[in-house]
Chains A and B, each alone.
Chain A
Amino acid sequence: MTNHEEEIKKEFINEIKRLVKDRSKIENFEDIIEEKFQQFLKVSLEEGNK
């Protein structure tokens, strides 16, 4: 896993920590996963092209 990818993972965890404190937002967590995957995909493709 590259640094960028590692960074996304950490962001993900922080997001989760933040969300468990706000129940209402948990329902939309699927969208957050999708959003994070987009970021991950973008970074991975950029890394791969270097």
Chain B
Amino acid sequence: MSEVEVTLENVGGFVNKHTFKFKAGTVNIVEAPNWAGKSSLIKGITIALSMPFGSELSKEVAQRIGLIRKEGDTREPLIHVGKKEATIIIRRDNEKRICLLNSEKGYVVKPEGDHRFLLTSMLTRSSEVVRRIADGDSNFEWILREVSLAERYEKIKSLFEKTRYEISLKIDELGRRIEQRNRIKEELLKLQIEIKKAKEKERDLNKAITSLPRVDPQLENRRNELLKQISEEETKKYSYKKRIEQLSKEITEIKHRYSSAEVNFRMLSEELKNTENAIRKIEAELKSLPSEEIVKKWELELQKINDARERLREKEGEIKGELKVYEDVFNFMQQNKIKETKCPLCGEGTVTYEDINFKVNELKARLKNIHDEISRNIRYRNELYQKIRLREEREPSLKREKEKLSEKRSEIAKRIRDIKLKLEAAQKEVLPLQNAIKRTKTELKQVEDRITELREQLKEIDMKISEKGEKERKLIEELGAIREKIEGLDRSIENNKKVLEELETTEINEITVSLDIALSIMRKWLRVIDEVMEFIDSEIRREKMLAIERFNTEVKRILTEVGLTDLEIWIDSNTYNLHVVTEGKPQPLVSLSGAQKHIISVILQLALKEAYMRDEPFFLIDEVMLDFHGKSQESIMKYLYEATKKFAWTTIITKLGEGKGIVIRSLS
């Protein structure tokens, strides 16, 4: 009996190298207490035999049993805590399988394992069969897909479905483009018909215009003659206007030339006027001065005034003397308090103090009157004197001023005469020009009248021929509109042709192909894909059928061999559902007891192993799975033992032991 050697280094709870030896062709019992490393051993063997996990289901199972860690996984990792690498080596006869696990780089398994090992060669509480039976899930299509080539065909099919979808999109797109192209073609055809009709209409209108009756030639000639005459008169009118403009320009130039003289003339005229006014003013003032006779009279009067003033002065002296006497007496009497005295002048009689006082006051009053008279006299004298002196002084100055102004007036008058001569010369130049303008304006008026008259005549003729003109105008208008339409249609046709050109072809794999050919090719390609997919579908069905057949055969055989003859189990080839019949009665999985489910799980796992992975020598079993009572356990264990022996499997049953480490013994 050959041996199988399993070496684990840094796997799970094992640090450094640990080698376990098993016997091939028999059932090996692995006994160990909890935490001794049973699970690490089973996981190590499993990962080395099932990597890589090639299907979604196998990945799911691998995660469930802790071969692949997922986020939040609290179970013991496959690589020992604190280590980065782990190694698993399995030796059997001359075969060696190495599995290197690296926490950063991943894994390497040589030779590669088979993910179906997880589904067929493990009988633990985490096995897929056990789990599904426990859940009462009767759909067993999964196992058919996993163990046969159906799963690979399905993978290929999914790629074809993607391709098919892309082809369908392309066909739809081509269909839409062809539809659009056909619509544009139809539109183009309509436009072409329309343009043909429009061109026919254009021809008809041209013919209609040409065939309109001719106008009376005499009227036409007369009209042309009038137009010619109007044109000639217009030319004349233009030349007259130009002539007037030219003459006006010449006059302006002359006036411009003499404009400073004109200004000077106006200024000097104003100055002359002012000078003459000033002379007149002086003459009036001179005239208002007193005559010589009056002056002589004033001089005589002045003499009289002087004489009168002399007299008044004398009188004043007299009164002052008399007043002096009386005042002295008065003062004496007052100081001496004398009441009466003799007349101070004549020394006779008696005068009283009051008389003296009266006399003083009287004399003072007389003196004042004399003073007033003298003042008047002086004022009058001054007035006369002033008048005489004023006349003596003013008259010569006025005369001098008048003389000066007279000289100025003569000078201005002379300059005005010179300027007048210049302006007269200018007037002589301008006058013929003004006359010429006047004449030309008369001629212009005549021409304008003539034009008005000719236009009236033209209007009359136009009215006569307007009936024919109206018809022609309408036809020409219509012709214009139809030509515009033709241009628009031409543009639309060109645009549609451009769009059509773009729509005529498409690109397939960078090759330009016409739309129809592209559609035909894509449709044929779709047919090819559909036919290939039909083949794939048939292969999937065939594979599944073969798998069912094989599975059902194995289950039936095992049931017979273990003596469970009242139990029938099979997968339905149409529904892929697992059917269980006990004592002739169909039993839904959910209605089965725990023990029944247990036994069925073991039978199915044995059938899967034998049907699909008989050549894989390892079969890993948790003793708990065989924990049922009675004949069934005994016969199943016997069957397991025989099958292990027959197929040279290395069956490993893990068992909770009471010793300190792992103990391996073979079942005899």
Contact = CB atoms under 8 A, between A and B. Distances in A.
B647 interface: no
A16 B511 contact: no
Contacts of A44: 520-521, 524-525
A23 B163 CA distance: 20
Contacts of B649: none
Q: Which residue, of A19, A20, A30, A48, has the highest number of chain B Cβ atoms within 10 A?
A: A20
B152 interface: yes
Contact of A33 (B155, B160, B521, B539): B160
B590 interface: no
Q: Which 4 pairs from chain A and chain B are nearest by CB?
A: A20-B152, A44-B521, A9-B528, A29-B159
B527 A1 contact: yes
A23 B54 contact: yes
A9 B511 CA distance: 22
Interface residues of B, number: 26
B532 A12 contact: yes
Given A1-B527, A26-B156, 16 more contacts: A5-B524, A9-B532, A12-B528, A16-B156, A19-B152, A19-B156, A20-B149, A20-B156, A23-B54, A26-B152, A29-B156, A37-B509, A37-B525, A40-B525, A40-B528, A45-B521
11 contacts: A1-B524, A1-B527, A20-B152, A23-B152, A26-B152, A41-B508, A41-B509, A41-B521, A41-B525, A44-B525, A45-B517
A38 B508 CA distance: 9
A45 B159 contact: no
Interface string B526-540: 011001100110010
B144 to A, nearest CB: 15
A2 B593 CA distance: 62
B605 to A, nearest CB: 24
B476 interface: no
Contacts of B54: 23
A48 to B, nearest CB: 6
B22 interface: no
Interface in B107-156: 149, 152-153, 155-156
A20 B153 contact: yes
Interface in A27-41: 29-30, 33, 37-38, 40-41
A26 B155 CA distance: 8
B513 interface: yes
A35 B267 CA distance: 115
A43 B162 CA distance: 23
A36 to B, nearest CB: 8
B535 A13 contact: yes
Nearest to B521: A44
A40 B524 CA distance: 9
A19 B156 CA distance: 9
B307 to A, nearest CB: 163
Contacts of B532: 9, 12-13, 16
Contacts of B536: 16
Contacts of B160: 33
A36 B187 CA distance: 40
A12 B539 CA distance: 14
Contacts of A1: 524, 527-528
Contact of A45 (B163, B513, B527, B539): B513
Interface in B149-173: 149, 152-153, 155-156, 159-160, 162-163
A23 B151 CA distance: 10
A20 to B, nearest CB: 4
Nearest to B535: A13
Nearest to A37: B525
Given A19-B156, A20-B149, A44-B521, A5 B509 contact: no
